[in-house]
Amino acid sequence: MTEFYVKVGSKTSFSKTVAESDVYLFAGITGDFSPNHVNRQYMEKSSFGRLMAHGALLVGFMSTVSTMAIADTREAEDTPVSVGYDRVRFLKPVFLGDTITLTYQIAELDLPRKRSYADVEVINQDNELVAVGRHILQWIPNTSYESGYL
């Protein structure tokens, strides 16, 4: 591979209103029934005053926007595989009914290691930064998969 299939500076965005069903389904799938997410009466008494989304659900949405960012690379000679997220931070709560916009921007390419790095930002409907992270993709040759590519 002499060049990547993505370019530094390229951006992709995804917006979604976080519904009560998103949070309850996520709680069911993961088993995370923290009262912060599923006990309205408990949260109404808290300083937040209402239910909030799981941070891990936001990471799931980060995965959505990363998939969108590489959608046109599917015919490439390498397959992009997520090897993780660094520096994920939840800066403010995301409440049920909030509309969030995630922006995925390619920040760095590492040709020798066949990796791309992207910064992910999540803002709410009030243009407040609520979460951030850095996503790492490993580009694996389609012709000769080798285990231990990390």
Q: Report percent pLDDT > 90 for the chain.
A: 83
Alpha-carbon radius of gyration of the chain: 18
Give domain status of residue 126, yes or no. yes
Q: What CATH number is associated with residue 61?
A: 3.10.129.10
Pick from 9, 3, 10: which is nearest to 139 by CA?
Answer: 3
Using alpha carbons only, give the angle 55, 60, 62 rounded to the nearest 5 degrees: 95
Q: Is the pLDDT of residue 145 over 60?
A: no
Segment 26-80, tens digit of pLDDT: 999 999 999 999 999 999 999 999 999 999 999 999 999 999 999 988 777 888 9
Using alpha carbons only, give the angle 17, 23, 27 rounded to the nearest 5 degrees: 160
Segment 103-135, tens digit of pLDDT: 999 999 999 999 999 999 999 999 999 999 999
Give domain status of residue 27, yes or no. no
Using alpha carbons only, give the angle 97, 132, 74 rounded to the nearest 5 degrees: 95
Give domain status of residue 33, yes or no. no
Give domain status of residue 28, yes or no. no
Give domain status of residue 41, yes or no. no
